Chain A
Amino acid sequence: MAVLVLVSLALLTVYFRESSGGGLHNLQSTGSSILRPFEVAANRVAQPFRDAASWIGGLSGARADNKELRRELVKARADAIRYQAAIQENTRLEKLLRYSESASFPTDFRPLTTSVIVLPPGQFDQRLVVGVGRVNGVQLDDPVVTDAGLVGHVTRVYTGVAQVTLITDESSFVSVLDLSTGASGLLRHSDSGSSIIMDNVPKKDQVEPGDRIITAGWHTPGLSSIYPRGIPVGVVSSVNQTDIDPNKQIEVRPFVDFGGLQYMFVLASKSGTP
């Protein structure tokens, strides 16, 4: 044993001290060349097993990758939906902003941008809740609009929220006029169906399908409409008249899509009174 240790130490010392062209290095090189065929043979024998191990490893790796990629896909989908929603939200808000800065926006009113918190629970209830209230300056009967047109008016005000009654509600009445002819009437819920009609328009007044209807915004001493003049309401979809009814039966298709309401303006009066 001592001999072997000494030989080992001698080998170490000589190998360490000699140059790379020394005897031991040459001997090692020769020995390595002799061993090479054995190594190649061992490699060839082991290759199928190595391949199998690599395949199994790759398979488990592929499974892990698949799992990871699926997780990433789910996240990417969620992100895409979020981004899409953000883009849509941005578009809607941009429209609202453009409207609030446009010349058609009612003067004397301060726009309070808000979103719908609670949508109408059913077709029988045409009221929704928005996220602004008394603290924001909302008052009873404040008009509510979108960039498309008139939505309704505030019927209840609380500290941070308010209830808005849509113009499609049975209790809602809006003084309107035909933008083309100036014929005035009262916009209200139809007795016979879910549509809204322009009532109280005498037969002599001229109203044609396709005419645009806007809020009349009348004023009399001590009394005025809660809606400012000029807010788009809808377009006349049909006009009928009968011999027994002194007024025309005018159906109005509102500009606002009440099924897709998200953002809107509550028009708070600048003077403090609606």
Chain B
Amino acid sequence: MIDGAKVAVLVFFAAILEVSVFSDVKILGGVPDLLLVTVVAVALLRGAVTGACAGFFAGLVLDTATLETLGLSSLLLTLIGYWVGRYGETTGRDRTHAPFLSVAVVTFLYALGGLALRFVLGEPAPARVVLLDSLFQGIALNLLLTLPLYAVARRLLPPRFRVTRGEGAPALG
């Protein structure tokens, strides 16, 4: 319960910071996505279900704050949270590169998915701007955010169990 509240607060503030501060930061044409990195961090640390919930909540706050089509970001971030959570629970568990790999991949997929959904909904979908002019800068900026943000998330949401090298998964029960 406390864990869920922590996740909610973390995601909520990440969403607020994203819409009020980070969306205004343009570096070399790219915009860092604090919320996306936060969802990835939460999903990696807490698994698929929490990741999906965090993604849904994050999307809801984002769409509400930006007055975008409600459910659009929720759908994308839910899928991302779930997928990254699954990756964290399986192959990405305790791997140092997992947050970076996840962030890089989901930044690309998030941009692609957002474009596809907007296109389907008939909203403006500037593919050139999103995929060519700002995508790589966005990935780089998100990767820069990953280390500190993952550290903060890890501090707030410490892993429930650790796996050391040579050990298998902990016995249940």
Report A's interface with B, CB cutoff 8 A: 1, 4-5, 7-13, 15-16, 24, 27-29, 31-32, 35, 38-40, 42-43, 46, 50, 53
A58 to B4, CA, bound (A): 42
Partner among B21, B25, B75 whose Cβ is within 8 Å of the Cβ of A8: B75
| A5-B16 in contact (CB<8A) | no
Q: Which residues of B line the A interface, CB within 8 A? A: 12, 16-17, 19-21, 24-25, 48-49, 52-53, 55-56, 59, 61, 63-65, 67, 69-72, 74-75, 78-79, 82, 121
Minimum C-beta distance from B11 to chain A (A): 13
Q: List 7 A-B contacts (CB under 8 A).
A: A9-B75, A11-B70, A28-B63, A32-B67, A38-B16, A42-B16, A46-B21
CB atoms of A32 and B56 under 8 A apart: no
What chain A residues lie within 8 Å of B56 (beta carbons)?
4, 7-8
Q: Is the CB of B21 within 8 A of A4?
A: no
Q: Are A1 and B48 in contact (CB under 8 A)?
A: yes
Given contacts A35-B61, A35-B65, are A11 and B17 in contact (CB under 8 A)? no
Contact A1 B52 (CB under 8 A): yes
Q: Which of B12, B63, B121 has the most CB of A within 10 A?
A: B63
Given contacts A35-B61, A39-B65, A50-B21, contact A5 B71 (CB under 8 A): no
Checking A10, A31, A39 against B20 with a beta-carbon cut-off of 8 angstroms, the contacting residue is A39
Q: Closest approach, in angstroms, between the C-beta of B158 and any C-beta of chain A?
A: 24
Contacts A1-B48, A12-B70; A39 near B59 (Cβ below 8 A): no
Contacts A8-B56, A42-B20, A46-B20 given; indicate if A32 touches B65 (C-beta within 8 A): yes
Contact A8 B67 (CB under 8 A): no
**Which residues of chain A are near B21, meaning CB under 8 Å?**
42-43, 46, 50
Chain B residue, CB-CB nearest to A33: B64
Cα A227 to Cα B40 with chains together (Å): 99
Task: Give the CA-CA distance A211 to B71 in the complex, in Å.
Answer: 104
A28 touches B78 (CB 8 A): no
Q: Which of A7, A12, A43 makes the CB contact (< 8 A) with B72?
A: A12
Say yes or no: B16 contacts A50, CB within 8 Å: no
Compute the total of residue contacts between A and B using a CB distance below 8 Å.
77
B164 vs chain A, min Cβ distance (A): 30
Closest residue on chain A to residue B74 by CB atoms: A8
4 other A-B residue contacts (CB within 8 Å) besides A12-B75, A16-B69, A39-B20: A4-B55, A8-B59, A28-B70, A43-B20
| In the complex, chain B residues whose CB is within 8 Å of the CB of A46 | 17, 20-21
Nearest chain A CB to B170 CB, angstrom units: 24
Say whether B70 contacts A5, CB under 8 Å: no
- Verify B20–A8 contact, CB threshold 8 A: no
- For the complex formed, measure the closest distance between the CB of A20 and the CB atoms of chain B, giving whole angstroms: 11
Q: How near does chain A come to B64, taking the closest CB pair, in angstroms?
A: 4
Specify which of B20, B52, B61 is in contact with A4 (CB 8 Å cutoff). Answer: B52
What's the Cα separation between A4 and B54 when bound, in Å?
10
**Known A-B contacts A15-B69, A46-B21, A50-B21; A5 and B79 likewise in contact (beta carbons under 8 Å):** yes
CA A53 to CA B24, docked complex, whole Å = 12
Report the Cα distance A5→B52, complex, angstroms.
9
Q: Is the CB of B78 within 8 A of A12?
A: no
Complex Cα–Cα for A9 and B117 (A): 11
Residue of B nearest to A38 (CB): B16
Choose one: B59, B65, B74, B78; the contact of A1 (CB below 8 Å).
B78
Are the C-beta atoms of A5 and B64 separated by less than 8 Å? no
* Contact status B69-A12, CB under 8 Å: yes
Q: Please give the distance in Å from B130's CB to the nearest CB on chain A.
A: 19
Q: Shortest CB–CB separation between residue B43 and chain A, in angstroms? A: 11
Is there an interface contact between A5 and B17, defined as CB atoms closer than 8 Å? Answer: no
B118–chain A nearest beta-carbon distance, Å: 11
Residues on the B chain within 8 Å of A35, using CB: 16, 61, 64-65
Contact A24 B82 (CB under 8 A): no
Q: Taking CB as reference atom, which chain A residue is nearest B70? A: A15
CA distance A31 to B19 in the complex (A): 14
Nearest Cβ in chain B — how far from A243, in angstroms? 96
